[in-house]
Amino acid sequence: MKRNSLIDNAWQWLDRKTDRSSRQLARRTSRRSFIARLGMAVAGMSVLPLLPVMRAFAAENLKETGDPRSCDYWRYCALDGTLCSCCGGTQSSCPPGAEPSPISWIGTCRNPVDDKDYLISYNDCCGQDTCGRCGCHNTERERPVYYPSKAGAVLWCFGTESRTYHCTVGVVLGEASDAS
Amino acid sequence: MRVMILVLLCLSFTANAQVAPETVGQEKLAAPGPGWFLVQSWTAATLFDSETGEMQGTVTVSPLTPAIEPNFPRKEIYAAESFYSRGVRGERSDVLTIFDAENLRAIDEVALPPKTTPLWFRNYIGLLDDERHVAVFNMTPAQSISIVDVVDREFAGEISTPGCALILPVAKRSFIMICGDGSLQLIRLDENGIEAKRTRSKSFFAVEKDAVFDQVARTADGWLLLSHEGLVFHVTTKGDDIQLSKPWSILTDKDKEETWRPGGLQIMGYHRESGVLYVLMHKGGIDTHYEPGEEVWLIDMARQKRIGRMAFEVPTKSIQVTQESAPKLLALTNEANVEVYDGQLLRHLRTIKSAGASPQFLQTLGRHD
């Protein structure tokens, strides 16, 4: 088999893999989405103010439904990247060897179980090669790059040992107030 | 065994005795034609001629390098690159690399603060009109600009630009930035590349309500901005003042009813000679600004009116237009092909297949294009 064919086949395979997560996402595109397809450098994406991650909210009592390996999972409404839950991590923890970025972007997602809005911190996990599994590219309230706190086209591996992007988690910070 | 190899070699030479042996050559890049363009991809910018569809060469850069900046009068190409000493770990080093535009090889580099920003944006790098200073956008996430003197090959300094991003070069060694508060910022440098003057426009758009795209198009004397809801702004400068045209919408009421919106990775291209803006359009709701385009619309900027539209056969994520008198429309599809059209008749001319690994946007080779 020629080298070209090998590359083409690899691409098609990656495309199939990354496009599988949701039919809706099959048409969607973003700069970060292509990172997910290839497997190399960075990650993350969208909504609200740029905040250091604060795990002030005790989520033990949170009732959830859905599959954390699916882009349709309620926490991922503003996530753009690849899902750590498909890469050896969970929806809220990085895979082995990947370092969580201390800086994140924040989304507001509605939990279908209690029909309440929650603040979600999307942290990129960094320092391992990009996990090309479960690409997820939601753009709810995403804004351009000159507005970084809501910009999907920013790689959020800031303040980490390496800027290499691996995957993204969605951590529940707490209930969203009306003001948010 | 050795004897056998010798015999085989002798037979081989005998068999080819009638043909003069070839030697491996090495091409140089020709002077770019008006229909040339590049495709910015994962680790490379790939050059094509839209007239023939033939690939011309490759500029290889570090992964996620946002864009390259050609400077063909000096026969140079610039790129801000970022490396780790051990691949994905180790010491980080960022440089502005100078490529020889004939051989497409790195010939020099200038060390930069390790703050350069990855991901593909044409306007993360800009050669200013003095053709000496190159501005590079940084994000740590604090936003700043590194200035490099490419003639003396020196780092000239860093300018803090909180709240603003992108580099839109304008006259008088200056550049405009788009800011998160809905304003523009103009920074003029002195002859040493040091900030000499900073001007801020009034806020003219609401980023939460209707943000302007972070993709722009150059006009003869400024830049075109387009909002998610279809408002066009023409930005020019007069001295150190930022001038904004009265905005108008590319969408009619009927278009809005039908939920047409601009969207994609590279949403527009502007043909300066004819004054026609090409915009990638789709039907969708709010926050669908990355949705690939279903159609391209041609907007006459002088008459502020749509003069043509064409449906694409496949979803298209980026478009560009060449600056020839008879322009070509270039359309990058989700399948990584570039479809080339006659930009006036909207007739399909050719397909350039496999235009790059994870291709992102298309760039013609004029200054700031």
Residue indicated by tokens 């050795």: B2
Give me the sheet containing B174-179, strands edge to edge.
Answer: B164-170, B174-179, B184-189, B195-200
Cα end-to-end distance, chain B, whole Å: 61
Kindly list the structural domains of chain A, giving each domain's residue range(s) and its CATH number in brackets, ordered by start: 3-175 (2.60.30.10)
pLDDT at residue B16, rounded to an integer: 57
* A168: contact with B, CB 8 A cutoff: no
At residue A140, the pLDDT reads 79
Contact A40 B42 (CB under 8 A): yes
Report the C-alpha gap between A80 and A32 in whole angstroms. 7
Q: Across residues B283-289, what is the average pLDDT? A: 93
pLDDT tens, B179-235? 999 999 999 999 999 999 999 999 999 999 999 999 999 999 999 999 999 999 999
Interface confidence, given as ipTM, is 0.92
**pTM: predicted TM-score of the whole model, two decimal places:** 0.87
**Of the partner residues B165, B287, B292, the one whose CB lies closest to the CB of residue A140:** B287
Summarize the confidence of residues B76-83 as an average pLDDT. Answer: 97
**How many inter-chain contacts (A to B, CB under 8 Å) are there?**
114
Closest to B89 (Cβ–Cβ): which among A42, A127, A158?
A: A127
List, in order, residues 6 or more apart from B236 with CB less than 8 Å away: B170, B219, B221, B222, B243, B245
pLDDT the model gives residue A152: 72
Average of pLDDT values for B61-74?
A: 94
Instruction: Decide if pLDDT at B175 tops 90.
Output: yes
| Window 136-155 of B, Cβ < 8 Å to A | 139-141, 143
Q: Which domains does chain B have, with CATH numbers?
A: 67-116+122-249 (2.130.10.10), 250-369 (2.130.10.10)
**Both structure tokens of B148:** 């490099």
Burial A42-56 (b: 16+ CB within 10 A, else e): bbbbbbbebeebeee
Task: List the structure tokens of B110.
Answer: 């200038």
Q: Does the CB of B44 have a partner CB in chain A at under 8 Å?
A: no
Name the residue facing B89 among A29, A143, A161 (closest C-beta).
A161
d(CA B318, CA B38): 12
pLDDT digits (tens, 9 = 90+) for B244-271: 999 999 999 999 999 999 999 999 999 9
Of A11, A41, A141, the CB nearest to B63: A41
Task: Check residue A20 and give its pLDDT.
Answer: 34
Q: What's the rounded Cα separation, in Å, for the pair A60 and A58?
A: 6
Residues 6+ apart with CB under 8 A from A61: none
pLDDT band at A19 (very low <50, low <70, confident <90, very high): very low
Q: Is A90 near chain B, with CB under 8 Å?
A: no
Minimal CA–CA distance to B192: which of B160, B152, B221?
Answer: B152
Q: Which residues of chain B make contact with A162, given a CB cutoff of 8 A?
A: 84, 88-89
Q: Does A50 touch chain B (CB under 8 A)?
A: yes
* Residue in B closest to A153 by C-alpha: B119
Q: Do A129 and B88 touch (CB under 8 A)?
A: yes
